[in-house]
Amino acid sequence: MAKLVFDIETSALPLEQFDEAQQEYLFRETEKIADEAARDARRREILQQFNLWPFTAQVVCIAMLNADTARGQALFTADDYEPGETGAGPVEFVACVDEAELLTAFWDVAKHYDEVVTFNGRGFDVPFLYLRSALLNVPISKKNWLGYRFATEPHCDLAEQLTFYNVSGREGAARRFNLDFYCKAFGIDSPKSHGVTGLDVNRLLAGGRFRDIAEYCLRDVQATVQLHRVWKERLAGIK
């Protein structure tokens, strides 16, 4: 059965979008820090964390591939939106006018798949997509991707499989590593070896480099496809 492999990129919403009460809530802990420099540093850390929360950030790109055919799409929002923008080859690069259109296009593809593969999708990508879709009133075509944690169907989260569901905790033999580390360990081309990481998304977005974000996100998915193949051939079935 065909599997959909996907990854998302997110970017913080402008601080001015939140009212005074919301900002006070978000930065409340910093008021307890007496030292001004330490307080400012913690405030910057919280601002960076905005990228990780669906109530303070938006989805700016979703890349997805069919695990068997390697065909798919990279959907991305762009200020210089041009309808139907695509690229040659098995992967289409599609510019969307806004996040709602991007999410709608994603769920339209997702409904055709019964299984999904991610890296940390259960902990981040899936709940992020669910909540952003709810906020924007975008219909969700697949509501079972969080499912039963100790199962690989319909959702195989490789971050959980490679740690055997966190059996060792933070410091044991099966401690968790990031996608970059796993890729290098298994001889897979790391998406970060091309000079772009998730930390660059805000900068690239501000610079109008929307296609660069999509290409980075796609490399994450391509690496996840290969890592899933390794897991399936060598580790699947271990209990």
155 Cβ contact partners less than 8 Å away, ≥ 6 residues apart: 115, 116, 117, 118, 121, 122, 126, 144, 145, 146, 147
- State yes or no: pLDDT of 231 exceeds 60: yes
> Which pLDDT value is given to residue 137?
98
Is 1 strand, coil or helix?
coil
Residue listed under structure tokens 């009212």: 19
Q: How confident is the model at residue 88 (pLDDT cuts 50, 70, 90)?
A: low
Q: Which two tokens stand for residue 108?
A: 């339209």
Instruction: Name the architecture of domain 3-11+54-234.
Output: 2-Layer Sandwich (3.30)
Average pLDDT of the residues in 159-174: 94
- State yes or no: pLDDT of 18 exceeds 90: yes
Average pLDDT of the residues in 175-180: 96
More confident residue, 159 or 239: 159
Q: Which two tokens stand for residue 166?
A: 């966190």
Q: How confident is the model at residue 191 (pLDDT cuts 50, 70, 90)?
A: confident
- State yes or no: pLDDT of 85 exceeds 60: no
Distance, CA of 201 to CA of 48 (rounded, Å): 11
